[in-house]
Chain A
Amino acid sequence: MTIPVSLTVNGKAVGVDIDPRTLLSQLLRDHLHLTGTHIGCDTGQCGACTVHVDGRAVKACNIFAAQVDGAAVTTIEGIGGANGALHPMQAAFREHHGLQCGFCTPGMIMNAIELVQKHPNPSEDTVRAELDGNLCRCTGYHNIVKAVIAGAANMKG
C-alpha cells in the first residue's frame, strides 16, 4: 500500500509513492539521501531532525511525509547560498564553536533560524528557553547560545 506525496525539498519538486508509515525524516534520509537530518531519539525530544516545513521548524522524525504533502521543506542542506556560501547562522556556529560532534548541529541550526525569525533580537534567556526542543550532549549549550545570538545579528546584515 502506497500513497502519493508531492512536495518541494530545498526548492526542488519531489514526487514519490511511499508507504504511509514513511516519516518525513525517512523520506529525506532514505529516499532523497539528505542525511544531514539526524535521528537522535524516538519520542520527539532531541530535535536533531529539525527541518522547516513552509518556514516552520518541526521535527521530521515525528511527522509522516504524507502530512506535508504540498509543502515546501527545507533541510540543513538547503539553507546555504549560491556557490556554497554559508547561511549566517551556519557561519555563526562555526565562528563561536557552537558544535562539537556535529550530530545535533543541523537540528540546532534549523531551529535557531526560525527562532531568530520570530525573535530578531533574542536575549540569552530567550535563546535558552526557545532551544528547549533540542538536546546537545557536547557543548553544555554555552557556545550554542553565543552562536545563536551572533547568528541573529548576522541574519540582519
Chain B
Amino acid sequence: MNAPYIGQSIKRTEDQRFITGGGTYTDDVNVVGQTYAYFLRSPHAHAKIRGINFAKAKAAAGVVGIYTGEDLTAAKVGGLPCGWLITSVDGQPMKEPPHPLLAQGKVRHVGDQVAVVIAESLHQAKDAAELIEVDYEMLPAVVNAADARKPGVPLVHDDVPHNTCYTWAIGAKDVVDKAFASASHVTTLEFNNNRLIPNAIEPRAALAQYSRGDEAYTLHVANQNPHVERLLMTAFVLGLPEHKVRVIAPDVGGGFGSKIFLYAEETVITWASKQVNRPIKWTAERSESFVTDAHGRDHVTKAELAMDKSGKFLAMRVHTTANLGAYLSTFASSVPTILYATLLAGQYTTPAIYCEVTAVFTNTVPVDAYRGAGRPEATYVIERLVETAAREMKLAPAEIRKRNFITQFPYQTPVALCYDTGNYGATLEAAMKLADAAGFEARRKQAADRGKLRGLGYSTYIEACGLAPSNIAGSLGARAGLYEAGEVRFHPTGSVSVFTGSHSHGQGHETTFAQVVADKLGIPIENITIVHGDTGRIPFGMGTYGSRSIAVGGAAIVKAIDKIIDKGKKIAAHLLEASADDITFKDGVFSVAGSDKKKTIAEVAFASYVPHNYPLDKLEPGLNETAFYDPPNFTYPAGSHICEVEIDGDTGATKIVSFTAVDDFGNVINPMIVEGQVHGGLAQGIGQALLEGCAYDAESGQLITGSYMDYAMPRADDVPSFKVDTKVTACTHNALGVKGCGEAGAIGAPAAVINAITDALGVKDIAMPATAERVWRAMNTKSKKAK
C-alpha cells in the first residue's frame, strides 16, 4: 500500500490481534492477588430497605469484604453525577436526585445494586451473597413514561414531584401555532420510540488495583472515554486526587454509547480496592448487563406537521415524554433535548418548529445515549411524518422531500443549528437509482402474485455530530468541554507514536488515524502507532461517542502535526542553512524552494533528538507536539436510506429484501471502514424497527426481556446484504473535511423500515418493533375495515 493513504481501503492493523485471539479486553487482564466482586442486586422494582443482615455472609468462606451504602456514606463517598444541566421552561434547573453507588435505604429498579461482596473466588462471592438477608418493604412501581405523571402514581424519588425531572422546550410556540392555524393540511402521528438495550457483545468489566506504596489506583475498565471516567470518578464521587488514578480502557468489545458512562460498579471496586488492599475484578454477566447498562430511546411522542396545499412544510410541533429510568445517568438529560429537538428540521426548510420535552423518572434502568442518541428519535419523528404527509397529500415520497429540501448553505434552522454544507438531492437521487426505485411497482406486483406484500420506505436523515463546540455546548448546559487532544511524538529513529484522546472500540482508529498521519507526515504507515485508551499515556481526551473521533480527534492530531511541521521547518532551515520561510514540506521532505537541498522528516527528527548541529538558542530539542482542538461547529452528515420489505400475508413475517444507504460523510479516509460502520448502524436500526423491544411488566416492574432468550438481537439471517454508497460535500470547518459516520445507519434505518412496512400494508402506522404479530394484526384490522 502506497501513499496517499487517505481514501484507500487499507486493511486494519488492529485485526491481527483480534483474529488470532490476541486482543486484550478488560476481563483478559489478571493480576497477582486478584479478588472478585459480586454485586447483590435488587430483585424488586421499588422497595424500601428496612435492614440488611450480612453477619452470615461475612463469615462465609473466602470473603474478603462486604460493603453497603452505609459504608460509603461513612466514607463520604458521593453519588454518580450527571454531566449536563437542563433548565426547565419555568427557569428552574432540572431535578437531580441522588444516584447512590449502593442503595441508600431504597431500591428503585430491578438490578439496583444493594451490596458488594468481595471474595477470593467468584463462586465464593456468590455463595456469600446468597447468605445476605435484605428486608425489603415492597412499594408500587411505575415503568412507563406515559404513566409517570399520572395522579396517584408512586414517586420514584420522594422529592421529585410528578416524577418530572424537567420540562424543556425549544422554538417559537406562537409562530408555530399560528402556522398550524393557517395550514391547508396537518399530518399527525402519535407513537413510542421503543426502549432498546445496547448489548455490546463484551459485557462491562473492570479491574481495580490500589498501590499502597504510592497511594495510587489503576483501573482497567471497558469504557469509551477513560479521561472522562477518571475526572467524574475522582472529582465528583470518590474525592481522590486525579493524578493518583490511572484509567486504562484496553481493547473494548463494542460500546454504542453504553460504555461512555460512569457506573457504580467500577467506582465501588476502585474505592474498595484500597479498603481490602487487594486488586478486585468485576465482570458483568449478560443478565447483569440487561439490568445495569444504560438503556436507550424510550420516548412517547405526538408530532404534527403543517403544510400548504402544495405540500410545502410550514411548521412542525412535537411533544415528547422521555423516560430517564430511575436515576440520571451521565449524559441522560442531554439526549432527549439537545441531541434530539435541535435535529427536528431534518433536511427541510420547515420555517417554524416547536418541541416540548418532559423527562420523567420511572422504576427502570437509567436511559442514556445509545448509538445515535436523540438523533434516531428525531429522524423517526420527521421521516414518519414526512412519509405519512406524502401519502395523505398524494405526493410521491421523493417528491414531497425534494419540494422541501434545504438547498442553500450555510442554513440556519429554527432549532439552533447552522448546517454548513450538504447536497440532499444528490444522495436521494443516488439512493433511488441504487435501490431501483423506478422498478419497485413491478416488483410489488410480482410479489403480490406470490401472495406477498411489498413495500418501499424512505428516510432522508440529518445528524449533528463531531461534538462539539465547547462554548455552545456549555451555553446549552454541558458541564464539560467537548474538544479533543492529540499528541504526535517522533522517536529519534523516525517512527511515530500518536496519542489520541479518542478511543477505538471497534471503529478502527489505529488504521484510519494512521492513514491521516502517514499522509500528513509523508512517512510509511508501518512506522506509525496509534495509542489510545490510557490516561497514563495520553495528555487528555473526551473520548469516542457521537461520531466525533475523526472530526474532532482526527482534527486534533492534524493540528499537532501542523506544529510538528512548523518546528521541522525551523530545524530543516538550520540544517540546510536557509530561512524557515523558504522551506517547503511535501511527502515527508523539507526542501529549500528553488534548490535541490532537502532533508527528510526522519533526518530532522534525528537532528532534534541528537542536537549537535541544532539551533539550541532558538529551539528546544525533540520533536513532540500536543494539540487540543475545539471544533467551531457541529458536523452535519446526511443521507438517504431506502428500505424494501416483503411481508408474508399468512404470518405477518417481514423480510427486508433490500436496504440502500447513500450517505454524505464528507471526505472519507477509509471507505472499507466507513462502509462497515454503516452496515453496523443499519443492523441496529433494523433491529429497533423489527426485533428489539425492551419490555417491563407494568405491575411488577420486572424486566421481561432480561436475556437473549427474550430480547431479540439481530442475527445474520435477520438482515440483508446492504447496498451502500457515499456522496461527498466536504465539511467546511475542519482540516480533513470529514463529518463522521458512526451513527448514521442507526439514525436513518428505523423510519425507512417502518415506512416500507406501512407502505406494504397500506396502514398509517405500526408500532416498533414491528413483530410478525403486530403486522398480522395490522393486516387483519385493515381487511376487516375493508369489509
Contact = CB atoms under 8 A, between A and B. Distances in A.
A129 B676 CA distance: 21
B728 interface: no
Interface in A13-55: 19, 21, 29-30, 34-43, 45-46, 48
A76 B21 contact: yes
Given A40-B286, A143-B679, A46 B201 contact: yes
Interface in A104-157: 104-106, 109, 124-125, 127-129, 131-132, 134-145
A100 B680 CA distance: 9
Interface stretch (B232-240, B415-423, B505-513): B505-513
A86 B286 CA distance: 31
Given A94-B19, A105-B19, A46 B715 contact: no
Nearest to B251: A102
Given A97-B673, A132-B715, A90 B19 contact: yes
B681 to A, nearest CB: 7
Given A103-B201, A138-B254, A97 B12 contact: yes
B506 A104 contact: no
A3 B714 CA distance: 39
A134 to B, nearest CB: 8
B684 interface: yes
Given A36-B20, A76-B21, A100-B680, A142 B201 contact: no
B692 to A, nearest CB: 11
A102 B506 contact: yes
Contacts of A129: 716-717
Nearest to A48: B201
B411 interface: no
B393 to A, nearest CB: 34
A30 B34 CA distance: 12
Contacts of B707: 41-43
B251 A140 contact: no
Contacts of A21: 123
A124 B285 CA distance: 33
B609 interface: no
Contacts of B680: 100, 137-140
Interface in B706-756: 707-709, 713-717, 719, 721-722, 745
A69 interface: no
A4 interface: no
A101 interface: yes
B447 to A, nearest CB: 18
Interface in B1-41: 11-12, 14-25, 27-28, 30
Given A100-B506, A102-B253, A102-B506, A128 B25 contact: no
B334 interface: no
Interface in B240-299: 251-254, 256, 283, 285-287
Nearest to B287: A42
Please tell me the size bucket of the interface on A. Answer: 35 or more
A132 B15 contact: no
A127 B201 contact: no
Interface string A77-110: 1001000001000100111010111111110010
Contacts of B605: none
A144 B715 CA distance: 11
Given A97-B672, A101-B505, A135 B18 contact: no
A139 B684 CA distance: 10
A80 B672 contact: no
B684 A137 contact: yes
B709 A43 contact: yes
Contacts of B16: 94
B631 interface: no
A144 B680 CA distance: 11
B709 A45 contact: yes
B689 to A, nearest CB: 14
B362 interface: no
Interface size class of B (residues with CB under 8 A): 35 or more
Interface in B471-494: none
B376 to A, nearest CB: 15
A148 B342 CA distance: 42
Contact of B201 (A29, A30, A86, A135): A135
A140 B745 contact: yes
Nearest to B27: A39
B726 to A, nearest CB: 15
B21 A75 contact: yes
Nearest to A105: B18
A93 B708 contact: no
Contacts of A139: 676, 679-680, 683
Contact of A86 (B20, B30, B123, B251): B20
A109 B204 CA distance: 23
Contacts of B203: 39-40
B200 interface: yes
Contacts of A75: 21
Nearest to A142: B679
A46 to B, nearest CB: 6
B199 interface: yes
A136 B22 contact: no
A136 B200 CA distance: 8
Most chain A Cβ neighbours within 10 Å, of B25, B252, B717: B717
B488 to A, nearest CB: 25
Contacts of A141: 679, 683, 714-716, 719
A80 B16 CA distance: 12
B25 A137 contact: no
A135 B683 CA distance: 12
A137 B717 contact: no
Contact of A34 (B11, B21, B283, B715): B21
Contact of A137 (B256, B283, B508, B673): B256
B682 interface: yes
B112 interface: no
Given A36-B21, A102-B14, A137 B254 contact: yes
Contacts of B709: 43, 45
B715 A40 contact: no
Nearest to A46: B201
A101 B20 contact: no
Given A100-B507, A137-B713, A35 B21 contact: yes
Nearest to A28: B21
B672 A40 contact: no
B711 to A, nearest CB: 10
A148 B672 CA distance: 17
With a 10 A CB-CB cut-off, give which of A30, A94, A134, A140 has the most chain B CB atoms. A140
A80 B20 contact: yes
A38 B25 contact: yes
Nearest to B711: A45
A125 B201 CA distance: 24
Nearest to B9: A97
Interface in B121-173: 123
B202 interface: yes
A111 B611 CA distance: 56
B22 A36 contact: yes
A36 B708 contact: no
| Most B CB within 10 A of own CB, among A39, A109, A127, A129 | A39
Contacts of B283: 39
Interface of A: 19, 21, 29-30, 34-43, 45-46, 48, 75-77, 80, 86, 90, 93-95, 97, 99-106, 109, 124-125, 127-129, 131-132, 134-145
Given A129-B717, A140-B681, 17 more contacts: A19-B123, A35-B21, A77-B20, A77-B22, A86-B19, A97-B12, A102-B23, A102-B506, A103-B202, A105-B19, A131-B716, A139-B676, A140-B682, A140-B683, A140-B714, A140-B722, A142-B721
22 contacts: A35-B21, A40-B201, A40-B203, A41-B707, A42-B286, A43-B286, A43-B708, A46-B201, A48-B201, A90-B19, A90-B20, A93-B15, A94-B19, A99-B15, A100-B506, A101-B252, A102-B18, A103-B25, A134-B715, A138-B676, A140-B679, A142-B722
* A-B pairs, 8 with minimum CB distance: A36-B21, A103-B253, A102-B18, A101-B506, A140-B683, A140-B679, A100-B506, A76-B21
